[in-house]
Amino acid sequence: MTAPVPPAIPYDTKRIARGYYWRGWGVTEIAQELNLNRSTVQSWKDRDGWDDDPIIRRVEDACEMRLNQLIFKEKKSGTDFKEIDLLGRQIERMARVRRYEAEGGHEGDLNPKVANRNKGEKKRKPKNLITHEEYLQLKEAFLSNLYEHQETWWRNVSLRTRMLLKSRQIGATFYFAREAFIRALESGNNQIFISASRSQANIFRQYIIEFVFEVLGKQLSGDPMVVHRTDKDGETLPPATFYFLGTNYRTAQGYHGDVYIDECFWIYGFDQINKVASAIATQKGYHKTYFSTPSTINHEAYPMWSGERFNKRRAKQDRVQIDIGDKALKDGALGADGIWRQIVTLDDAIALGYDLIDRDEVLLEYSVDEFDNLYLCQFVDDSQSSFPLSLVRPCMVDSWDVWKDVMPYSLRPFGDGEVWIGYDPAESEDGDTASCVVVAPPQGKNGKFRVLEKLQWRGKDFEAQAAEIKRLTKKYRVAEIAIDANGMGAAVHQLVVKFFPRARRMDYTPLGKSLMVLKAKNVFSNRRIEFDSGWTDLARALMSIHPKLTKNQQQITYVARRSAETGHGDLAWALLHALFCEPMDATDGETRKSRVEINR
* Structure letter (DSSP) for residue 250: G
Report the pLDDT value the prediction gives residue 225, as an integer from 0 to 100: 95
Domain ranges of the chain: 13-116, 129-375, 404-579
Report the pLDDT value the prediction gives residue 565, as an integer from 0 to 100: 33
Q: Which residues contact 416 (CB under 8 A, 6 or more apart)?
A: 477
Identify which has the larger pLDDT, 428 or 176. 176
d(CA 326, CA 141): 32
* Structure letter (DSSP) for residue 158: T
Name the band, by pLDDT with cuts 50, 70 and 90, for residue 8: very low
Q: Tell which CATH architecture fits domain 404-579.
A: 2-Layer Sandwich (3.30)
Cα 236 to chain centroid, rounded = 26
Mean pLDDT of the chain: 85
Report the pLDDT value the prediction gives residue 96, as an integer from 0 to 100: 76
H/E element holding 40? helix 38-48
DSSP letters, 340-382, are EEEEE-HHHHHHTT--S--HHHHHHHS-HHHHHHHHS-PPB--
**pLDDT for 597 beyond 80:** no
Report the pLDDT value the prediction gives residue 38, as an integer from 0 to 100: 85
* Structure letter (DSSP) for residue 562: -
Q: Pick from 530, 532, 511: which is nearest to 584 by CA? A: 511
Tell me the residue type at 594: S
d(CA 433, CA 566): 7
pLDDT digits (tens, 9 = 90+) for 183-233: 999 999 999 999 888 888 899 999 999 999 999 999 999 989 999 999 998
Q: Give the CB-side neighbour count of residue 396, counting CA atoms within 13 A.
A: 25
Question: In angstroms, what is the C-alpha Rg of the chain?
Answer: 40
Q: Pick from 466, 505, 504, 482: which is nearest to 578 by CA? A: 482
**Phi and psi of 119, rounded to 5°?**
-70, -45
Task: Tell me what the mean pLDDT of segment 2-15 comes to.
Answer: 58
What distances in angstroms separate CA 456 from CA 468, 492, 569, one per listed residue? 11, 15, 11
Pairing of the two strands 545-549 and 529-532: unpaired
d(CA 97, CA 91): 10
**pLDDT for 430 beyond 60:** no
pLDDT digits (tens, 9 = 90+) for 503-561: 999 888 888 888 899 999 999 999 999 999 889 889 988 988 888 766 665 566 777 76
Would the pTM of this model clear 0.85, i.e. be above it?
no
Task: Tell me what the mean pLDDT of segment 119-146 comes to.
Answer: 86
Task: Tell me what the mean pLDDT of segment 236-260 comes to.
Answer: 85
Q: Which residues contact 114 (CB under 8 A, 6 or more apart)?
A: 107, 108
Task: Tell me what the mean pLDDT of segment 580-594 comes to.
Answer: 68
Q: What is the topology classification, in CATH, of domain 129-375?
A: Rossmann fold (3.40.50)
d(CA 531, CA 393): 10
Beta bridge partners of 344: 166
Report the pLDDT value the prediction gives residue 262, as an integer from 0 to 100: 93
Q: Is residue 208 within 8 Å of 409, Cβ to Cβ? A: no
Report the pLDDT value the prediction gives residue 249, as an integer from 0 to 100: 58
**pLDDT for 599 beyond 80:** no
- The sheet with strand 258-262 has its strands ordered as 129-130, 225-230, 236-245, 191-194, 258-262, 288-292, 161-166, 339-344, 333-334
Q: Pick from 353, 326, 374, 324: which is nearest to 540 by CA? A: 374
pLDDT digits (tens, 9 = 90+) for 280-313: 999 999 999 999 999 888 889 999 999 999 998 8
Mapped onto helix, strand or coil, the DSSP state of residue 144 is: coil
Write down the H helix ranges in 333-480. Answer: 346-351, 359-365, 368-375, 389-392, 399-402, 462-475
Identify which has the larger pLDDT, 436 or 380. 436
Task: Calculate what percentage of the chain has a pLDDT beyond 70.
Answer: 88
Q: Is residue 396 within 8 Å of 403, Cβ to Cβ? A: no
Longest dimension (CA), the chain: 160
Q: Is residue 431 within 8 Å of 487, Cβ to Cβ? A: yes
Is 113 exposed, middle or buried (CB count within 10 Å of its CB: 0-12, 13-18, 19+)?
exposed
pLDDT digits (tens, 9 = 90+) for 457-509: 988 889 999 999 999 999 999 999 999 988 889 999 999 999 999 999 988 88
pLDDT digits (tens, 9 = 90+) for 338-393: 999 999 999 999 999 999 999 998 888 777 877 888 899 998 877 778 899 889 98
Report the pLDDT value the prediction gives residue 34, as an integer from 0 to 100: 82
